[in-house]
């Protein structure tokens, strides 16, 4: 073709001889990805593949170029991480008016061949943390911090091993919500009723408030260098266990008047007073107010710790 051919003889997916066994799908889509329109519509390539398979009684290999079931799928953790970062950069460039498609390992937009983005990243027991983070970003809008990605990846791998298959996007999202008590009303043991933060000096704060435990109102009090550290100290006193903030991050969700804040917090604690064995857990909170999001994240984590059985509520 580069030498000047004006006609190509072949057949769909290379299954034929009388017209030549050149794969017309591959030739046409190679032209398309190089910016040359073949004047053919491949927006429903999945249906075309199914018809060819049914008529020829010859299966199309899963990794066949463009038409294979897994052609736009990535299982490798490093590939998934690169694709996730590529989409993030692509979104920024599109906001600036650039329309050129440039994503690692994806020579074309999956939508151009009738695929959705759910098919791009597949998560199984061998997948890395990037794939799950991408799914959570697309489903919940949460940009999960890297240490939390590692923690969630371990949970995913255990579940995928137990099931003996890859996990679907909705399963990953559900597992994330359950694991980190995100909008989960099933594991609520301590609920904040009200609080007030007082400034004692430029570097010292005091928090007083009330929580509800087993339908009882309990007063709490704690001290720290800010609202979060003061709240964590108050909950440490309440539960009679030393809680410490190991990691904290936040980011905005949405834009304009609909913007919300997402907060992620990791708390460490001693789960065995006999040998001082420590553990840690993550939690996430979302609210229109940054402070409220942080508080929701703290309580999500604390309720998770209580649910694990490592810390018991006083009778």
Return the domain boundaries, the chain: 1-70, 77-175, 190-308
* Average pLDDT of span 47-69: 89
pLDDT in tens, 91-130: 888 888 888 888 888 888 888 998 887 777 777 666 667 7
Mean pLDDT for the chain?
86
pLDDT in tens, 39-49: 989 999 989 99
Query: How much is the pLDDT for 275?
Result: 58
* Contact criterion met (CB below 8 Å) for 66 and 45: yes
CATH 3.30.160.270 is the classification of domain 190-308: yes
pLDDT category at 245 given cuts 50, 70, 90 is very high
* Average pLDDT of span 162-181: 88
């Amino acid at each position: 073709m580069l030498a000047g051919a004006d006609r190509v003889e072949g057949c769909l997916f290379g299954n034929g001889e009388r017209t030549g066994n050149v794969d017309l799908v591959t030739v046409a889509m190679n032209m398309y990805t190089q910016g040359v329109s073949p004047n053919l519509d491949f927006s429903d390539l999945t249906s075309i593949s199914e018809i060819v398979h049914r008529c020829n009684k010859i299966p199309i290999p899963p990794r066949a170029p463009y038409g294979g079931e897994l052609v736009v799928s990535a299982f490798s953790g490093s590939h998934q991480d690169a694709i996730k970062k590529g989409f993030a950069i692509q979104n920024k460039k599109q906001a600036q008016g650039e329309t050129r498609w440039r994503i690692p390992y994806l020579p074309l937009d999956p939508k151009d061949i009738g695929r959705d983005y759910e098919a791009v990243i597949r998560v199984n027991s061998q997948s890395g943390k990037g794939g799950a983070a991408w799914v959570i970003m697309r489903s919940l809008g949460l940009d999960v911090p890297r240490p939390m990605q590692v923690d969630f990846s371990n949970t995913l791998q255990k579940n995928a091993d137990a099931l003996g298959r890859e996990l679907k996007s909705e399963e990953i999202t559900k597992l994330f919500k359950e694991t980190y008590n995100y909008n989960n009303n099933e594991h609520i043991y301590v609920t904040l009723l009200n609080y007030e933060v007082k400034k004692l000096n430029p570097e010292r704060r005091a928090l007083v408030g009330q929580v509800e435990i087993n339908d009882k109102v309990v007063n709490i009090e704690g001290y720290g260098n800010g609202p979060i550290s003061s709240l964590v100290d108050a909950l440490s006193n309440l539960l009679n266990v030393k809680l410490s903030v190991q990691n904290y991050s936040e980011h905005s969700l949405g834009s304009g008047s609909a913007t919300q804040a997402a907060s992620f917090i990791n708390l460490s604690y001693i789960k065995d007073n006999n040998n001082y064995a420590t553990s840690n857990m993550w939690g996430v909170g979302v609210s229109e107010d940054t402070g409220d999001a942080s508080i929701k994240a703290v309580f999500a984590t604390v309720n998770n710790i209580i649910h694990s059985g490592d810390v018991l509520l006083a009778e």
